[in-house]
Chain A
């Protein structure tokens, strides 16, 4: 009797365990298949492209994760003192805000999209999604107005002067802000706005925005006799010719509504000059003349000029102030310097750790040599300088600084790295947290 019961029980147990094993096997296989399918994109929402987040945005934000300050960013949500705002190349970068809140704007070089980065919480948001391909130069006339320059197929420089408007501004809709992805990932995108503007006349070689009257611009266009200097409104109207000159290659620093400093484009063996241009009558007054390899960084007054000359082995830096010309002990190009917005006599310069054996600044301008800089703070009144930050030793990154700009409060400097064209922001005070 017992044997009769034992055999069927064993058979049932074997069948049950086989079925159980088969179930577990199938479940494992199903999980693996699901993971593989998820990896291929099954189960995800199809990209609709209706939002403002696209592949470029993902690449830009994705690049931030790979930046050297990743660890600090993930744990504190506060950007580090030296912050790589984007891994994508930018055509220009600027700072806006007050002493309590500062944001960085940059133009993505590839798409012309404008992004905004918050220096307090590290969020990066795309502001506009208007496609302007291959922007080479961008500058701002305020946080809502930007000028972009690119080169078309015929080699003609195109200049787009635009304002940031909402997609349906005409309907009076207000833009909304919506987070994307993980809320802790510091990825946020504002419902995209668009650029609305006009193309200015072709081949604008240099352009500047009035420091006090953001609606006015001053630009240089070539003509048969050299170059014309024109003031206009940002929309290209109200044109006024204020200057003409036989020499075309100039950099513009518009320091106040009445005056701009024009400096000749530099070359190591060529004497250069910088002049103060009167916007009223187009008259030039010499500021610095007959200096080889001259480049300048102009403060808020024409008396405040940092300038560099090409020395026999390395560039030499000087300050021209009300007290006269003073040689500084730092060897760098004035292109790498910015005057403090907060204290009149202070300036900040990125100084190359070593100077390559090349014809400078020409080889640097041509992109043949790149430098690794250290930031210094300079008291131009006394000529003393103080080491501020070493990107290479403190952050393990070599930065070749160009286009530095300081916010009005004097708390941040933004710049581009010439090697990668990426935008960076540096907090001046090491101890201060935003």
Chain B
């Protein structure tokens, strides 16, 4: 008797445990998949609705899919409603595609599943379109007025900022201090830089030939709105570009010196620009410039080692100009390049003899 009663209690306990486990599983699955967009009427909701993409953008298609552990949705007659209006009905229709509205709008999608036995089960989700974007740049050098992005070389830092648009129905937006930001670097949550209001981060950039995967998940403090953005940031080697510099006109940033060129002048000043190296100025004590002319070292101008003036006495003289730039604190940030320059000859193109293509200089 004792043993029978004991077994019965064990069975009851096991069933209770099983029921509890399933309930917890269903609850956790629904909250982790449906996120803030899905509202479950209760713990024992038997249909889960998921959206794809997880965080729909405004005016974009969104697919809502239903699944259930308890209801055979493939055999039930499913009716889909959007904002209360039936839009699709039929047996086995387990997903539905809608178009998200503009920012601030809500799309209430509901499914009513009627099983062959007549049992009716419903589930509802609310789609609130959001936009989350990630802006980033590296703290590396590009010249003034350069139209392109500062890219990260090995060991450079990256500044990243999330711009989130969570708009309520009344048109007001949720401010960044009411948003919790979770940052992931290469798939791992970076807890120290995540948190409420932490919309921007400074992180180490990718190592040589590598890339950094940055993800931010933004969620309103009331769990109503969520969004996510991911960027892949590849490493870029520092890159040397040589430009002519003239007293009249300055550095000709628009006309880089090609690998091989012929210049009409016999005396020219060149400015080297080390793109994507970790510095704010080219005249930095952290940068080492080593110039070689025809493979012989040449002392750089200590006042500005990024510039060099070449003078040729012989007509049609040539020079192989080589430059190596190293970052004193980051030995992975180095750049080397050579240029073959023919002096006193015919310019190979108008932009070489004079970077502005002038027939004669316009020195006042």
Residues of A whose CB lies within 8 Å of any CB of B are: 54-56, 59-60, 63, 66, 87-89, 108-111, 131, 133-134, 136-137, 149-151, 154-155, 157, 205, 226, 245-249, 251, 264-267, 269-273, 275, 283-286, 289-290, 324, 335, 361-362, 365-368, 370, 418-422
Bound Cα distance A239, B234 (Å): 39
- Taken together as a complex, chains A and B put the C-alpha atoms of A59 and B275 apart, in Å, by 34
Question: B145 contacts which of A87, A137, A267, A368 (Cβ < 8 Å)?
Answer: A137
- CB-CB under 8 A from A108, the residues of chain B are 362
5 contacts between A and B (CB under 8 A): A55-B364, A133-B248, A264-B137, A289-B229, A366-B275
Interface residue from B142, B145, B159, B255 paired with A149 (Cβ < 8 Å)? B145
- Kindly identify which residue among B148, B254, B364 contacts A362, using a CB–CB cutoff of 8 Å: B148
List the 10 closest A-B pairs by CB distance, nearest first: A134-B250, A420-B357, A267-B149, A289-B133, A365-B148, A89-B356, A59-B362, A246-B200, A367-B256, A110-B248
The reply to whether B131 and A286 contact each other, CB–CB distance below 8 Å, is yes
Bound-state CA distance A75–B142 (Å) is 47
Q: Looking across the interface, which residue of chain A has its beta carbon closest to that of B281?
A: A155
Q: Residues of A contacting B256 with CB < 8 Å?
A: 366-368
Q: Are A289 and B351 in contact (CB under 8 A)?
A: no
B213 to chain A, nearest CB (A): 12
Q: Say if the beta carbon of B163 comes within 8 Å of chain A.
A: yes
Residue B173 interfacial (CB < 8 Å): yes
User: Which B208-240 residues have a C-beta within 8 angstroms of A?
Assistant: 229, 231, 233-234
Interface residue B5 (Cβ < 8 Å from any Cβ of A) = no
For B283, list chain A residues within 8 Å (CB): 154-155
Which residues of chain B have C-beta atoms less than 8 A from A284's C-beta?
163
Tell me whether B200 and A422 are in contact (CB under 8 A). no
> Does the CB pair B357–A419 fall under 8 Å?
yes
B137 touches A247 (CB 8 A): yes
A88 to B357, CA, bound (A): 9
CA distance A422 to B359 in the complex (A): 13
The number of chain B residues touching the other chain, given as a range, is 35 or more
Determine if A155 and B148 form an interchain contact, defined as CB atoms under 8 angstroms apart: no
Q: Which residues of A contact B179 (CB under 8 A)?
A: none
Q: Let me know if A248 and B137 touch, CB within 8 A.
A: yes
> Given the complex, which residues of B lie within 8 Å of A150, measured CB to CB?
250
Given contacts A56-B362, A109-B249, A421-B254, contact A286 B148 (CB under 8 A): no
- Contact among B59, B137, B258, B358 with A87 in the assembled complex (CB-CB below 8 Å): B358
Closest B residue, CB atoms, query A416: B254
Q: Shortest beta-carbon distance, A347 to chain B, in Å?
A: 20
Which residue of chain A lies nearest to B243 when distances are taken between CB atoms in the complex? A367
Q: Which chain B residues (114-166) contact chain A, with CB distance < 8 Å?
A: 131, 133-137, 142, 144-151, 159-161, 163, 165
CA distance A226 to B356 in the complex (A): 34
Considering the chains assembled together, what is the distance between the CA atoms of A291 and B148 in angstroms? 14
Known: A55-B364, A273-B133, A419-B254. A366 touches B356 (CB 8 A): no
B364 CB contact (under 8 Å) in A56, A155, A365, A419: A56
* Most A Cβ at <10 Å: residue of B135, B243, B255: B135
Give which listed residue, B135, B150, B281, contacts A273 with CB less than 8 A. B135
Which one of A89, A136, A370 contacts B144 once the chains associate, using CB atoms below 8 Å?
A136
- Contact check, A151 vs B250: say whether CB atoms are below 8 A apart: yes
Alpha-carbon distance A286/B356, docked complex (angstroms): 39
Known: A108-B362, A110-B248. 6 other contacts (CB 8 A): A56-B362, A150-B250, A157-B144, A205-B144, A270-B149, A367-B253
CA gap between A363 and B359 in the complex, in Å: 26
Interface pair B147/A266, CB less than 8 Å apart = yes
Bound CA span A289–B227, Å:
14
B151, A270: Cβ atoms under 8 Å? yes
Q: Are A247 and B135 in contact (CB under 8 A)?
A: yes
Distance between Cα atoms of A59 and B363 in the complex (Å): 9
Query: How far apart are B264's CB and chain A's nearest CB, in angstroms?
Result: 15
Cα of A260 to Cα of B255 in the assembled complex, Å: 31
Q: Which of B161, B231, B233 has the most CB of A within 10 A?
A: B161
Would you call A264 and B149 a contact (CB within 8 A)? Answer: yes
Residues in chain A near residue B133, CB distance under 8 A: 273, 286, 289-290
* B300 CB, nearest partner CB in chain A, Å: 17
**Inter-chain contact B364/A54, CB cutoff 8 Å:** yes
Report if A89-B149 is in contact (Cβ < 8 Å); known contacts: A66-B359, A249-B137. no
Q: B134–A271 contact, CB under 8 A?
A: yes
Q: Are B241 and A368 in contact (CB under 8 A)?
A: yes
Q: A335-B147, A366-B241 are in contact. Are A246 and B159 (CB under 8 A)?
A: yes
The reply to whether B165 and A249 form a contact with Cβ atoms under 8 Å apart is no
Chain A residues within an 8 Å CB radius of B359? 63, 66, 87
Docked Cα-Cα span, A362 to B256, in Å, equals: 12
User: Are B234 and A420 in contact, with the CB atoms below 8 A?
Assistant: no
Choose one: B135, B248, B250; the contact of A136 (CB below 8 Å): B250
CA distance A422 to B131 in the complex (A): 42
Encoded as 1 (CB less than 8 Å from any A CB) or 0, chain B from 341 to 360 comes to 00000000011000011111
Q: Which of B250, B281, B351 has the most CB of A within 10 A?
A: B250
A419 with B351, Cβ < 8 A, contacts A155-B283, A367-B252 known:
yes
Name the one of A88, A149, A226, A272 contacting B358, with C-beta atoms under 8 angstroms: A88
Q: How many angstroms between the C-alpha atoms of A289 and B55 in the bound complex?
A: 14
Inter-subunit contact A419/B255 (CB<8 Å): yes
A119 to chain B, nearest CB (A): 23
* B157 smallest CB distance to A (angstroms): 11
CB-based nearest A residue for B254: A367
Cα–Cα distance between A111 and B282 once the two chains are bound (Å): 25
Q: Are B362 and A134 interface neighbours, CB within 8 A? A: no
User: Contact check: which of B151, B249, B282 meets A134 at CB < 8 Å?
Assistant: B249
Q: How distant is the Cα of A109 from the Cα of B355 in the complex, in angstroms?
A: 13
The residue on B at minimum CB distance from A270 is B149
Residue ID in chain B nearest A262 by CB atoms: B135
Q: Say which residue of A131, A265, A421 sits within 8 Å of B356 (CB atoms).
A: A421
